[in-house]
A and B are shown apart, each in its own frame.
Chain A
Amino acid sequence: MTLLESFKMALDAIRANKMRSFLTMLGNIIGIAAVIAILAIGNGATTRITGTFNDLGATTVSLSVSNNASNDEQITDQDLQAIKNTDDRVTAISPNYTLSGFAAASGDEKTALIFGGSPDLQRTSNVMDPSLVSGRYFTQADYDESAPVAVISADGAKSLFNNQTNIVGKMMTLRSRTTSISVRIIGVTKSTADKFQGAVRRNSFPVYVAIPYSTMKLVSINAGGITDVTIKARSRNDITAVSQNTVRLLETRHDVVGQQLYTARNYLSALDQVDNVLTLFVEFIAAVAAIALVVGGIGVMNIMLVSVTERTREIGTRKALGATTRDIMIQFLTEAVILSLIGGIIGLMLGIIVAESVAAALAITATITWQAIVLVLVFASAVGIFFGIYPARKAAKLNPIEALRYE
């Protein structure tokens, strides 16, 4: 008997008991759908979170000063210059100060996030796009003079100036809760929303403005000595060394070695942690799904045992007509494997549908790999074989006379 014959026989037998076969498959359907959906969503989430971390600066080191630091121990412009000059892994360094304030031009006042920094802010900012649409960024000269100049994001400019183009050179007012200053717009950066496409709702962005930190001191009474600094390293691999170097250099310059007044943070450890949590989550669900598959397999075995008992006379007849032990074995094993495999395929499709729907709702991309599909189908077949062997052997070993006599 060929495999094709046993395949056809198995399909006939499954079709003869549609409801029962479907219920038997349900275990596999649920198990496999869960595996596929969780793997796809988990992969998608990992990609998305990793991507977000990269956007936020996988090459960024955040430097901060302890509250216990005295005035002498605050970070100075000279410190920043020294760090940049002594470590060629540092590509940009800027004070990092954010003011939640307001901006107004001709029309209504709008909520604004105002960033204060050095000219390097153009490259250290994790929020504003570094590319200029028009005009220029502020320079060291602007910084040294506390010049009343500002760079604004394109989408912010649009909302402040009612869709006017060509706003370089125009004036606007920046206001904190206590003070306001008038600044001249010298440059417009690319729209900020584009950078975070999909991550945050588009319309929720405030106006983004970048000004020299020296100018920031004019509008915000809290801005004084530099307490927060953002450093951009050459590559992700340099992050750890740059962090250590910078802290050591500051401690030496301020003669406070070992007092832990300066802290350098980066996202690497956070990224690793997120990776670990996600991996653990996927593994956990996979284990639960594996249990579901084993339970499904037991269901297959159960129904195959019932089937063997029901078809005892059929088995006896087949043996009388010349079926060998192997023929009967293969027939029932094929049936068990097909039962598992059909369940697996339905589960696969269901899993893809679930993954796509969930992914659409979470605004991520479900990642279904070929390896996952193959793994699932191989696993389903393996479950069929493993749990089908016992019933199939039982069928094959039936004594033909007793089987023929069975009522």
Chain B
Amino acid sequence: MSLISLTHIVKTYRTGDETLHVLKDVNLTVNTGEFLAIMGPSGSGKSTMMNIMGLLDNFDAGVYTLNNQDVTHLNENQRAHVRNKEIGFVFQSFNLMPRMTLLENVALPMVYAGIGRGERKDRAADALTQVGLGDRVDHQPNEISGGQMQRVAIARAIVNRPAVIMADEPTGNLDSHTSLEIVRIFQELNAAGTTIVMVTHEPDIAQYAKRIVSFRDGIVQKDEPVANPPQLFSQEVSS
């Protein structure tokens, strides 16, 4: 069943006299349970596509359906609610709130969802345990490593039980060993049923996804499944 459906998406930027066609009639469907990697050189349109999918950016033409809801014409506040409910973001530079504890950081999306303090605390602690940081709830972001910060960001992304996690270059600021740790957590979450869309320019990272979509000059150049992606986790541990 298709979770994300983008049809005939067109996006252009106008800078002065020039018109830049960033996305030229792009179609993309993501099904529930998929682990999709979006690749492409810079300027290919992959980041714009990600922003549109994340309801952070507008598009000029086309239709976007997310989780059976037409989200093409939502206003800013409606989009904020959909982002809060349906999408979990993971950013390249983690984007944690520096003065909040890890627990408060993870609980933040629930603050905007209007969830009560007690439930927020419980669910945030659970999410942190899920990414292996259950013993660090009261730490501040500046007391942990980059890899750990990204794990906190993942906990924050899953805490509202979104339909999809959107990760924009999640390993861009991490060394190769730590990067694999993050990918392992994505694979675990995916195995447990979470849909994941990840933008990356590193083929080494993309190969762990189940499907790779390559962008070039504003169109989908390649869209193919990955045959037997290597598994970074043991099934026994995750279950």
Question: How far does the Cβ of A28 sit from chain B's closest Cβ, in whole Å?
Answer: 24
Question: How far does the Cβ of A196 sit from chain B's closest Cβ, in whole Å?
Answer: 61
Q: How far is the CA of A1 from the CA of B109 in the complex (A)?
A: 10
Q: Are B77 and A322 in contact (CB under 8 A)?
A: no
Known A400-B56, A401-B56, A401-B57: A323·B112 in contact at CB below 8 Å: yes
Judged by a CB distance under 8 angstroms, whether A255 is at the interface is: no
Q: Are A322 and B95 in contact (CB under 8 A)?
A: no
Chain B residues with Cβ below 8 Å from A15 are 99
A-B pairs, 4 with minimum CB distance = A322-B84, A322-B112, A317-B95, A324-B80
Taking Cβ atoms with an 8 Å cutoff, the residues of A that contact B are 1-2, 5, 12-13, 15-16, 313-314, 316-327, 400-401, 404
Q: Are A321 and B112 in contact (CB under 8 A)?
A: yes
Q: How far is the CA of A326 from the CA of B112 in the complex (A)?
A: 11
Chain B residues with Cβ below 8 Å from A5 are 111
Q: How far is the CA of A12 from the CA of B108 in the complex (A)?
A: 14
Q: How far is the CA of A33 from the CA of B108 in the complex (A)?
A: 38
Chain A residues with Cβ below 8 Å from B51 are 401
Chain A residues with Cβ below 8 Å from B97 are 314, 317
Q: Are B113 and A322 in contact (CB under 8 A)?
A: yes
Known A1-B111, A1-B112: A404·B56 in contact at CB below 8 Å: yes
Known A1-B111, A400-B56, A401-B51: A321·B84 in contact at CB below 8 Å: yes
Q: Are B108 and A321 in contact (CB under 8 A)?
A: yes
In the complex, how many residues of chain B place their beta carbon closer than 8 angstroms to a beta carbon of chain A?
Answer: 25
Q: How far is the CA of A15 from the CA of B85 in the complex (A)?
A: 31
Q: Are B95 and A323 in contact (CB under 8 A)?
A: no
26 A-B pairs within 8 Å (CB atoms) are namely A1-B111, A1-B112, A1-B114, A16-B99, A313-B95, A317-B95, A318-B108, A318-B112, A319-B56, A319-B83, A320-B54, A320-B56, A320-B83, A320-B91, A321-B89, A321-B156, A322-B109, A322-B112, A324-B77, A324-B80, A325-B80, A326-B77, A327-B80, A327-B112, A400-B56, A401-B56
Q: Which of B83, B95, B112, B113 is in CB contact (< 8 Å) with A404? A: B95
Question: How far does the Cβ of B21 sit from chain A's closest Cβ, in whole Å?
Answer: 18
Chain B residues with Cβ below 8 Å from A323 are 80, 112
Taking Cβ atoms with an 8 Å cutoff, the residues of B that contact A are 51, 54, 56-57, 76-77, 80-81, 83-85, 89, 91, 95, 97, 99-100, 108-109, 111-114, 156, 160
Which residue, B57, B109, B112, has most C-beta atoms of chain A within 10 A? B112
Q: Are B112 and A12 in contact (CB under 8 A)?
A: no
> What residue in chain A is nearest B95 (Cβ atoms)?
A317
> What residue in chain A is nearest B162 (Cβ atoms)?
A322
Question: How far does the Cβ of B38 sit from chain A's closest Cβ, in whole Å?
Answer: 16
Q: Are B91 and A322 in contact (CB under 8 A)?
A: no
Question: How far does the Cβ of B50 sit from chain A's closest Cβ, in whole Å?
Answer: 10
Q: How far is the CA of A400 from the CA of B77 in the complex (A)?
A: 12
Question: How far does the Cβ of A339 sit from chain B's closest Cβ, in whole Å?
Answer: 16
Q: Are A322 and B81 in contact (CB under 8 A)?
A: yes
Q: Which of B76, B89, B113 is in CB contact (< 8 Å) with A320? A: B89
Chain A residues with Cβ below 8 Å from B77 are 324-326
Chain A residues with Cβ below 8 Å from B109 are 321-322
Q: How far is the CA of A5 from the CA of B111 in the complex (A)?
A: 8
Question: How far does the Cβ of A396 sit from chain B's closest Cβ, in whole Å?
Answer: 10
Could you list 20 further interchain pairs (A-B, Cβ under 8 angstroms) beyond the known A1-B112, A320-B56, A327-B80?
Answer: A12-B100, A13-B99, A316-B95, A317-B97, A318-B108, A318-B112, A321-B84, A321-B109, A322-B80, A322-B84, A322-B85, A322-B112, A323-B80, A323-B112, A324-B76, A324-B81, A326-B77, A327-B112, A401-B51, A404-B95
